[in-house]
Amino acid sequence: MKEAIIKLFNDIFNYNSKGNLYFSPGRVNLIGEHTDYTGGLVLPFGIDKGTYIFAVKNNSSKINIYSDNFKDGIISIETESSMIKKSHWSDYFKAVLYVLSNDSYSINSGFDAVIAGNIPDSAGLSSSASFEMVSMICLLDQNGYTIPQPGSEKMVELSLKGQQAENQFIGLQCGIMDQFACANAKKGQAIELNCDTLSFQYAPLETGEYEILVINTNKKRRLEESKYNERRLECEKGFELLKKLGITEKKLGNVGLDRYNTVKDGINDELLTKRLDHVIQENERVKKAVENLKNNDIMGLAKQINVSGDSLREKYEVTGFHLDLLVDIARSTEGVIASRMTGAGFGGCTVNIVQSGKLEQLCNTISNKYTNDSGIKPDFYSFNAGNGTCKLF
């Protein structure tokens, strides 16, 4: 990628010059689904695919950026002008500039830059958070600020600014997981994150003869946003009922399973009980999954992933025909020990643990069965746990 992006810069801007290369990965969430917005636990890892920016100072106050993924020309942004949202990919860059400029950072140095990414499109792997975080360290470094290391207190702060950029400028009320995972990833590690306190720990992601396989249903999402908001509202309603039953925790994600079980029978709402069951039990599954990773217990991890998937289907009801079909086919295929939906649901991807030695055979089997039953051909992505947001040179 290094040589390719430098050549791209030379072709687009028509000059050669020494510059700086920045990177931020995408992410996969192993377990802890639909828990982030309740202040619960998640277990993502940064993938070895991501977004790159190569930048060269241009001795002005103008930033000129070109995206190899969109190929719609050079976009020019004045660092000192007000940021205007245009429903364009460059909004994410502007959002980061907006947040930094409104904070204590002095961002006034211009540069020319090309952006290139190798995260699969529309796969729910946080390409937007990856772009936000790589844009942030590019802007900071080009203006003389030190780039913090993944996992440091300062990088955690920058993760929050990435979330603010999406919330305040883009207008999407995302949780903290995506930006946090992209920014603070470490090679060979997953991150257990408490989305309320932002306390976190790394856990070794050593899968031995197995590997993580993401499969895209390629089903277009139509209900995602409305159903996502519906689930959030149901969780809020359920939490209010728990408070009336004596629960004193400030966030639903802080409610322990034992405490929940002592008041559960008083809820008297079957639907809300199912939603609460998922969120509170999912937090326990994340804790068990972390212990599985620490003990190098891949079968134990697989069990937690499968139970999580069943809960997302039966209790949280965020799957649908295509995700259910793909999970059922995968689980019945030799060489697959775990499969569940990942992301918001109602389409998108599954995360799977599969035997490396049977990868080609099982991919062919799953592809043929899924295509035959759905009329859609799935896509397969194999990832390793890679490093977080950083300056490469």
Q: CA 254 to CA 283: how far, in whole Å?
A: 9
CB-based burial of residue 22 (10 Å sphere; 0-12 exposed, 13-18 middle, 19+ buried)?
A: buried
According to the model, what pLDDT value does residue 223 have? 58
* C-alpha pair distances (Å), 313 with each of 308, 309, 322, 373: 9, 6, 12, 19
Going by pLDDT thresholds of 50, 70 and 90, the confidence category of residue 2 is: confident
Q: CA 265 to CA 48: how far, in whole Å?
A: 45
Q: What is the pLDDT of residues 212-246, one digit of tens each?
A: 999 999 998 765 667 888 999 999 999 999 999 99
Asked whether the whole model's pTM tops 0.85, one would answer yes
Q: CA 279 to CA 277: how far, in whole Å?
A: 6
Going by pLDDT thresholds of 50, 70 and 90, the confidence category of residue 175 is: confident
* C-alpha pair distances (Å), 58 with each of 17, 72, 75, 111: 10, 21, 15, 5
* C-alpha pair distances (Å), 301 with each of 51, 60, 186, 287, 304: 29, 52, 20, 10, 5
How do 336-342 and 349-355 pair as beta strands? antiparallel
CB-based burial of residue 346 (10 Å sphere; 0-12 exposed, 13-18 middle, 19+ buried)?
A: buried
Going by pLDDT thresholds of 50, 70 and 90, the confidence category of residue 196 is: very high
Q: The domain that contains 97 carries what CATH number? A: 3.30.230.10
According to the model, what pLDDT value does residue 172 have? 84
Q: For tokens 């002095």, what's the residue?
A: 106
Tell whether 230 is covered by a domain: no
Tell whether 265 is covered by a domain: no
Q: CA 134 to CA 51: how far, in whole Å?
A: 7
> Is residue 199 over pLDDT 70?
yes
Measured in whole angstroms, how far is the alpha carbon of residue 348 from the centre of its chain?
13
Q: What is the pLDDT of residues 327-370, one digit of tens each?
A: 999 999 999 999 999 998 999 999 999 999 999 999 999 999 99
Q: Which of 8-22, 196-210, 224-238 has the lowest mean pLDDT?
A: 224-238
Tell whether 139 is covered by a domain: yes
Tell whether 190 is covered by a domain: yes
According to the model, what pLDDT value does residue 11 have? 96
Q: What is the pLDDT of residues 141-154, one digit of tens each?
A: 999 999 999 999 99
Q: CA 292 to CA 263: how far, in whole Å?
A: 29
Q: Which of 74-88, 139-153, 260-274, 345-359 has the lowest mean pLDDT?
A: 74-88
Burial 52-84 (b: 16+ CB within 10 A, else e): bbbbbebeeebbbbbbeeeeeeebebebeeebe
Give residue 173's domain range: 2-205+386-391
* C-alpha pair distances (Å), 294 with each of 51, 208, 338: 30, 13, 18
According to the model, what pLDDT value does residue 225 have? 66
Choice among 178, 265, 277, 324 that is catalytic: 178
> Is residue 49 over pLDDT 90?
yes
> Is residue 27 over pLDDT 70?
yes
Sequence-distant (≥ 6) Cβ neighbours of residue 242 within 8 angstroms: 252, 255, 260, 263, 267, 276
Tell whether 129 is covered by a domain: yes
Residues above pLDDT 70, as percent of the chain? 99
Sequence-distant (≥ 6) Cβ neighbours of residue 84 within 8 angstroms: 94
Tell whether 246 is covered by a domain: no
Going by pLDDT thresholds of 50, 70 and 90, the confidence category of residue 277 is: very high
Tell whether 97 is covered by a domain: yes
Tell whether 100 is covered by a domain: yes
Q: Mean pLDDT over all residues of the chain?
A: 96
Residues above pLDDT 90, as percent of the chain? 91
Q: Diameter of the chain by CA atoms?
A: 70
Question: Residue 121 catalytic?
Answer: no
Count of structural domains, the chain: 1
